[in-house]
Structure 1
Amino acid sequence: MGQFDGKQKALKRGSVVLLVLALCSIAAAAAAESLTVRVSGFKKLTGTVYVMLWRDAASFPTHPEKAVATRQAPVSGDSVQVTFASLPAGTYAAAAFQDLNGNGELDRSLLGWPVEPTGASNGARGTVGPPRFSDAAFELKQNRTIEIRVK
């Protein structure tokens, strides 16, 4: 009988572990949000638009390699839409640029100013430099769509 009791305890323990794992999976799935970014303001309907997301103020928007996610899409109309799926809820800032010459990066003048159209979430613009994270920041608590206008 002792052997039967041991198997029964192991079965109960295994059931509890499976239940906990299932609940954690449900909670993780519930925390994953979707962000759609609609980019507009194109003067030329050519090239590719790059949209990047940051959670870190120190790297926004000057270090695209530190963005938490990047999407790209061809510019073929007045606006372009990209979607970031399965994002954890939290504070983000987004920036976009239109790559007119197809080199995959934002081209700058000798003084460091962008020579291709750029924009950021919340319409944030820098006065003497790039926009600040705090000006472009938004909360992602549920599925959401934001707009960025490039200039």
Structure 2
Amino acid sequence: MKKNIFLMLVLLTVQFSYAQHNPLKITVTNINKLEGNIQVSLYNKETSFIKKGLEYKTMTRAVKSATEVFTFNDLPEGEYAVALYHDENSDGKCNTNFLGIPKEGYAFSKNFVPKLAAPKFEDTKFKQEHGRSLVIKMIY
């Protein structure tokens, strides 16, 4: 009897901890310079997408290799989009030319490549459920 109760407690604990942790693993590839920082921003609303200060969650890390891995933990299921940039000169912003085109590396979820305008949330959104892994290639 004690053995059955113990097993039920273990199973409930495992189930509860699984339900509480819904990680999103983002592997950023094609980083061409081992300097500066990569900033990964996660958005959960169309109205805040790629607007500075309106990110759902943000993570910044110094570049140490051509591939970097970021993990956002405990995300509720839903729709999200990712935008990231390589802050090569560590000035805290994505530098652009006079037309607004980034001079530093950048990327979006679904490996969306903008043509003549910035992407929309709809272009880059994905469904987060039961943990997810994305591979996003930097654009230079």
Q: Same fold (TM over 0.5)?
A: yes
- The runs of 5 or more residues in structure 2 that have no matched partner are 1-14
2:36 and 2:101 map into 1 onto residues whose CA distance is 19
Whether the aligned pair in 2 keeps the contact of 1:38 and 1:146 (CA below 8 Å) is yes
SS in 1 for 2:73: strand
Whether the aligned pair in 1 keeps the contact of 2:49 and 2:120 (CA below 8 Å) is yes
CA radius of gyration, larger in: 1
Alpha-carbon deviation of 1:64?
2.8
TM-score, scaled relative to structure 2: 0.82
Whether the aligned pair in 2 keeps the contact of 1:92 and 1:140 (CA below 8 Å) is yes
Whether the aligned pair in 2 keeps the contact of 1:52 and 1:95 (CA below 8 Å) is yes
TM-score, scaled relative to structure 1: 0.76
Alpha-carbon deviation of 1:57?
1.4
| Structure 1 outlier segments of 4+, above 3 Å | 26-29
Q: Deviations over 1:70-104 (max 9, x none)?
A: 01111111200111111111000001100001011
Structure 2 letter corresponding to 1:145: S
Alpha-carbon deviation of 1:107?
0.9
| Residues 1:59 and 1:125: Cα distance change in structure 2 (over 3 Å) | farther
2:47 maps to 58
1:46 maps to 35
**Number of residues of Structure 1 aligned to a counterpart in Structure 2:** 125
Task: Report % sequence identity.
Answer: 27
Structure 2 letter corresponding to 1:49: I
1:31 and 1:135 map into 2 onto residues whose CA distance is 29
Residue 86 of structure 1, aligned match among 29, 53, 74: 74
1:139 maps to 127
Decide which structure has greater helix share: 1
| Residues 1:124 and 1:55: Cα distance change in structure 2 (over 3 Å) | same
- The runs of 5 or more residues in structure 1 that have no matched partner are 1-25
1:121 and 2:109 correspond: yes
